[in-house]
Amino acid sequence: MLPRYFTDSPWAKAPGPDYAAFPATMNGCDSSRFLVRWRAVNDNSQLVATYVDAVGTPGMQVTGNAGWMDLDQCHTPAFQLLENDDGSTLTDVTITVQQYIPAP
């Protein structure tokens, strides 16, 4: 099962490990980092990618078919699908998350 994103929808947060909620918190932002790599399955799809904080405020936005993000523990990756030339209104997205935790 891959995350699915639609046109004309609000920011859709990416799932975390095992499709549970992404492990972001409001506290302890510096306790770990995440490398998030993503790619739209439909090669014609263009996504707007960003990160959102605990209250849903988006950060810097980029547009593309694939990319990566380096996030602290206070942010969650989120996506919106732009309208496509091929008429599709949804796309699946592959997402890989690596979590880095500092040594004690």
Q: Which range in 43-47, 75-79, 98-102 is most confidently predicted, on average pLDDT?
A: 75-79
| Domain of residue 26, residue span | 4-100
How many folded domains does the chain comprise?
Answer: 1
Q: Which two tokens stand for residue 27?
A: 């506290």
Give 102's pLDDT tier (boundaries 50, 70, 90): confident
| pTM for this prediction | 0.84
Model confidence pLDDT, tens digit, residues 72-95: 989 999 998 887 777 878 888 999
Residues 6 or more apart whose Cβ sits within 8 Å of residue 58: 11, 50, 51, 52, 78
10-19, 40-49, 75-84, 95-104: least confident range: 10-19
Which of helix, strand or coil describes residue 51? strand
Rg (CA), the chain: 14
Query: DSSP letter at 99?
Result: E
Question: pLDDT higher for 69 or 3?
Answer: 69
